[in-house]
């Protein structure tokens, strides 16, 4: 028996409420071959797609997911028995997902919050790690980079962990580097002895000034100073006294040249930049003040020294628009100041430049002269008054210039000395003179001049030895003439060279005695074989009062020391008789003969000796 009852919507909802969970129930019906339609239930009728899904899951044991008009839901479709075979019915239970998940919402929220908090914690921890490790390292890295690029760099020190200690060590190192750089810069731009700026700094300053005052007349005066006879102070009183003197002079210059830029270029050379701003009037004043301030007496180690200075001045941009020209011109002016008698201020003039150019030309010509064999030796006899015959010849250089004719050694030897060309020239003269002398009688010596430049260069002994060996001349037939200027270089090394010459067996004569830096102590320090009394004494012998006494004193002194004497520049017979009376050993001069070519020496030694001898007698 079958009972059937129609369920309306309300009754259907009543059934739904019987369930423990909020189910929605509905009944679907279909005729065979037709799609299901909803016949009862509280949910909106499913669409065709949903109906197909329901058909597919009809009778299944598991729920399936269904899209309904109220949203996604879990669904279960169960077949219902029908009265007719042509009809099929199904019970559809629908459980909306929102309703199913509702109890889990708070839990879901809690999980989300926990996840968010976790994420925040991770972000914070990362940030802290970065703050504690990465940031200090980055700052240190930045500081290292700045230091490497030459900037001042300091890494912040925070806390007292390893990184802080590393930063502190870095800062210490950076400070040390900075200090060392300061010291190096100071050394590079300052003179150690006086603490004044050095040449490099001076050049920088002058260059900078010339650049920013380009085209401005009388913007600056450049003073070149050097101490007169500083070398003599160094040599006679020693380097420590010389150094103290330089420091004292630097102090004086600093005070007098206040507001100017003062630098020491080296040795006893100082430069001052006086900024004029277009007004050249203060130039003379400062020059005079500098001379006055430097020349006050100094007391060093118990020695009273009166320094003096010569000053050369060049003015920008009248005398030069660049550092080199200005310095060279101030230097030329300094040269002139020295020539003018030292202790004076001289200004640059274009004529000085022309002279310097002529000198440069001479230097070039001289180089060529050596290669082209334009140099020649002339020989001047020295008459031996005791034996009444020619005792020796002095070899004297002559330069036969292709355009300028015969050039005097007085003109080209200083150039040769300045350029060092005197070394090869002197060596050539030594070889040539020795070779020539081998053709003369045994008793006739050859005297060869040796410049102080040549004297102080190593290798003089070798040159002499080679000349003697190559010619076969006996060493005692060679007389080396040196001047007192060799003593300016430092007496210890000078005496060493002199003794070296003596060991070779050659004779040594002191030339031009009485000029320059004559000191009787030189005579005491080395046993010269001969003293050659300078021409200036002989020229004035009969005219200047006291000259006879001076020459007599020299001859007597030399005699007492066992040295011979030669009077140079004897031109008159009266001079000759006076010298003979005084006991002079030999004479040299135009009275007897001018310097002659080698070929004429033979004539003089052969035929004319008696004739010349008669003139002298």
Q: How far is the CB of 488 from ligand C2E (least distance, A)?
A: 15
589 binds, among Mg ion, ligand C2E, none (CB under 5 to 8 A by kind): ligand C2E
- Beta carbons within 8 Å of 338's beta carbon, 6+ residues apart: 228, 310
Interacting span for Mg ion (CB under 5 A) from 84-92, 317-325, 503-511, 569-577: 503-511
Return the residue of 28, 263, 345, 429 that touches ligand C2E, per CB under 6 A: 429
- Beta carbons within 8 Å of 277's beta carbon, 6+ residues apart: 219
Residue 33-72 contact track with ligand C2E, rule CB under 6 A, x = bound = ----------------------------------------
Using the rule CB under 5 A, is 512 a contact of Mg ion? yes
Q: How far is the CB of 586 from ligand C2E (least distance, A)?
A: 13
569 binds, among ligand C2E, Mg ion, none (CB under 5 to 8 A by kind): ligand C2E
Q: Which is nearer to ligand C2E, 196 or 570 (CB)?
A: 570
Question: Both tokens of residue 520?
Answer: 């009787």
396 binds, among Mg ion, ligand C2E, none (CB under 5 to 8 A by kind): ligand C2E
Q: Among residues 94, 22, 13, which one has the least CA distance to residue 53?
A: 94
Q: Among residues 473, 404, 467, 391, which one has the least CA distance to residue 438?
A: 473
571 binds, among ligand C2E, Mg ion, none (CB under 5 to 8 A by kind): ligand C2E
H or E, element range at 321: none
Q: Which is nearer to Mg ion, 384 or 568 (CB)?
A: 568
Interacting span for ligand C2E (CB under 6 A) from 16-24, 191-199, 219-227, 390-398: 390-398
Q: Which is nearer to ligand C2E, 196 or 396 (CB)?
A: 396
Using the rule CB under 6 A, is 514 a contact of ligand C2E? no
* DSSP output for 229-290: THHHHHHHH-HHHHHHHHHHHHHHHHHHTTTSEEEEEETTEEEEEEE-TT--THHHHHHHHH
Q: Which is nearer to ligand C2E, 287 or 381 (CB)?
A: 381
β 389-401/405-407 pair status: antiparallel
- 3 state SS of 327: helix
Return the residue of 380, 392, 566, 575 that touches ligand C2E, per CB under 6 A: 380
Return the residue of 397, 460, 551, 587 that touches ligand C2E, per CB under 6 A: 397
Site for ligand C2E in 430-449 (CB under 6 A): 449
Residue closest to ligand C2E, measured at CB: 589
226 binds, among ligand C2E, Mg ion, none (CB under 5 to 8 A by kind): none
Give the HSE-up count for residue 299: Cα atoms under 13 Å, Cβ half-sphere. 1
- Beta carbons within 8 Å of 475's beta carbon, 6+ residues apart: 468, 504, 505, 506
C-beta of residue 268 within 8 angstroms of C-beta of residue 227: yes
Q: How far is the CB of 350 from ligand C2E (least distance, A)?
A: 30
Using the rule CB under 6 A, is 512 a contact of ligand C2E? yes
Q: Which is nearer to ligand C2E, 136 or 589 (CB)?
A: 589
Neighbouring-strand partners of residue 379: 395, 596
Q: Tokens 């070889």 label which residue? A: 431
Using the rule CB under 6 A, is 424 a contact of ligand C2E? no
Q: Among residues 223, 232, 295, 220, which one has the least CA distance to residue 264?
A: 223
d(CA 466, CA 485): 25
Q: How far is the CB of 591 from ligand C2E (least distance, A)?
A: 7
Q: Which is nearer to Mg ion, 191 or 512 (CB)?
A: 512
- Beta carbons within 8 Å of 223's beta carbon, 6+ residues apart: 271, 272, 273, 274, 286, 287, 290, 311, 312, 313, 330
- 3 state SS of 612: helix
Interacting span for Mg ion (CB under 5 A) from 182-190, 235-243, 293-301, 566-574: 566-574
380 binds, among Mg ion, ligand C2E, none (CB under 5 to 8 A by kind): ligand C2E
328 binds, among Mg ion, ligand C2E, none (CB under 5 to 8 A by kind): none
The number of beta carbons lying within 10 Å of the beta carbon of residue 14 is: 11
Q: How far is the CB of 303 from ligand C2E (least distance, A)?
A: 33
Q: How far is the CB of 561 from ligand C2E (least distance, A)?
A: 21
The number of beta carbons lying within 10 Å of the beta carbon of residue 213 is: 19
Return the residue of 331, 365, 384, 481 that touches Mg ion, per CB under 5 A: 481
- Beta carbons within 8 Å of 269's beta carbon, 6+ residues apart: 224, 225, 226
d(CA 41, CA 10): 9
Interacting span for Mg ion (CB under 5 A) from 363-371, 406-414, 487-495, 508-516: 508-516
Query: 25-50 burial string, b = 16+ CB within 10 Å, else e?
Result: bbbbbbeeeeebeeebbebeebeeeb
H or E, element range at 445: strand 445-449
d(CA 132, CA 135): 7
Site for Mg ion in 215-274 (CB under 5 A): none
Return the residue of 41, 136, 287, 589 that touches ligand C2E, per CB under 6 A: 589
* DSSP output for 203-237: HHHHHHHHHHTTT-TT-EEEEEEEETTHHHHHHHH
Q: Which is nearer to ligand C2E, 319 or 432 (CB)?
A: 432
Return the residue of 26, 41, 287, 569 that touches ligand C2E, per CB under 6 A: 569
Using the rule CB under 6 A, is 516 a contact of ligand C2E? no
d(CA 131, CA 163): 12
Using the rule CB under 6 A, is 511 a contact of ligand C2E? yes
Return the residue of 384, 436, 511, 564 that touches Mg ion, per CB under 5 A: 511
Return the residue of 571, 580, 583, 605 that touches ligand C2E, per CB under 6 A: 571
Assign residue 218 a region (left: φ > 0; alpha: ψ between -120 and 50; beta: otherwise).
Answer: left
Using the rule CB under 6 A, is 198 a contact of ligand C2E? no
If binding means CB under 6 A, how many residues of this protein chain bind ligand C2E?
A: 25
Q: Rounded to whole angstroms, what are the CA distances from 500 to 311, 451, 521? A: 39, 16, 20
Site for ligand C2E in 137-196 (CB under 6 A): none
Interacting span for ligand C2E (CB under 6 A) from 97-105, 124-132, 320-328, 583-591: 583-591
Q: Rounded to whole angstroms, what are the CA distances from 152 to 139, 158, 169, 180? A: 14, 19, 15, 13
In the complex, the residues that contact ligand C2E under the rule CB under 6 A are 380, 395-397, 408-410, 413, 426, 429, 449-451, 481, 511-512, 535, 568-571, 588-590, 595
In the complex, the residues that contact Mg ion under the rule CB under 5 A are 449, 481, 511-512, 568
């Amino acid at each position: 028996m079958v009972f059937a009852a129609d369920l309306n919507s309300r009754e259907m909802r009543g059934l739904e409420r019987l369930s423990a969970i909020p189910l929605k129930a509905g009944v679907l019906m279909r005729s065979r071959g037709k799609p299901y339609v909803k016949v009862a239930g509280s949910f909106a009728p499913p669409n065709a797609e949903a109906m197909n899904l329901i058909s597919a899951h009809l009778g299944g044991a598991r729920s399936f997911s269904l899209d309904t008009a109220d949203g996604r839901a879990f669904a279960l479709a169960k077949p219902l028995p029908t009265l007719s075979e042509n009809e099929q019915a199904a019970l559809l239970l629908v459980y909306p997902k929102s309703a199913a998940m509702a109890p889990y919402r708070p839990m879901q929220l809690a999980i989300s919050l926990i996840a968010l908090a976790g994420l925040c914690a991770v972000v914070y921890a990362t940030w802290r790690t970065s703050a504690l490790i990465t940031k200090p390292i980055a700052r240190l890295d930045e500081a290292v980079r700045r230091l490497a690029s030459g900037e001042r760099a300091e890494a912040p020190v925070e806390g007292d962990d390893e990184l802080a200690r590393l930063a502190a060590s870095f800062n210490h190192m950076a400070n040390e580097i900075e200090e060392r750089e300061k010291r190096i810069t100071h050394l590079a731009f300052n003179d150690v002895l006086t603490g004044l700026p050095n040449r490099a700094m001076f050049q920088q300053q002058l260059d900078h000034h010339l650049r920013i005052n380009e085209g401005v007349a009388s913007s600056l005066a450049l003073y070149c100073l050097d101490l007169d006879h500083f070398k003599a102070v160094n040599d006679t009183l020693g380097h420590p006294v010389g150094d103290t003197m330089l420091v004292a002079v630097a102090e004086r210059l600093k005070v007098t040249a206040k507001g100017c830029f003062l630098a020491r270029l080296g040795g006893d050379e100082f430069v001052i930049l006086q900024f004029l701003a277009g007004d050249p009037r203060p130039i003379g004043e400062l020059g005079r003040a500098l001379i006055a301030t430097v020349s006050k007496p100094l007391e060093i180690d118990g020695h009273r020294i009166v320094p003096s200075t010569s000053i050369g001045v060049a003015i920008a941009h009248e005398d030069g628009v660049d550092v080199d020209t200005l310095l060279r011109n101030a230097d030329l002016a300094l040269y002139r100041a020295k020539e003018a008698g030292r202790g004076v201020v001289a200004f640059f003039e274009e004529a000085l430049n022309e002279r310097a150019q002529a000198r440069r030309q001479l230097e070039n010509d001289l180089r060529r002269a050596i290669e082209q064999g334009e140099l020649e030796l002339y020989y001047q006899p020295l008459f031996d008054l005791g034996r009444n015959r020619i005792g020796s010849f002095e070899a004297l250089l002559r330069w036969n210039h292709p355009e300028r004719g015969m050039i005097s050694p007085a003109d080209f030897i200083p150039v040769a000395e300045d350029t060092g060309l005197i070394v090869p020239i002197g060596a050539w003269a030594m070889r040539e003179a020795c070779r020539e002398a081998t053709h003369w009688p045994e008793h006739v010596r050859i005297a060869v001049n040796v410049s102080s430049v040549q004297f102080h260069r190593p290798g003089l002994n070798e040159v002499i030895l080679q000349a003697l060996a190559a010619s076969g001349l006996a060493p005692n037939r060679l007389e080396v003439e040196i001047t007192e200027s060799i003593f300016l270089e430092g007496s210890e090394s000078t005496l060493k060279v002199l003794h070296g010459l003596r060991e070779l067996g050659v004779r040594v004569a002191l030339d031009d005695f009485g000029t320059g830096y004559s000191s009787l102590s030189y005579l005491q320090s080395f046993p010269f074989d001969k003293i050659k009394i300078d021409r200036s004494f002989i020229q004035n012998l009969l005219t200047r009062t006291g000259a006879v006494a001076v020459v007599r004193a020299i001859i007597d002194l030399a005699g007492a020391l066992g040295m011979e004497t030669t009077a140079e520049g004897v031109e008159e017979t009266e001079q000759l008789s006076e010298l003979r009376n005084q006991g002079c050993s030999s004479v040299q001069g135009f009275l007897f003969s001018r310097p002659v070519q080698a070929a004429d020496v033979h004539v003089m030694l052969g035929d004319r000796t008696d004739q010349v001898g008669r003139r002298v007698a």
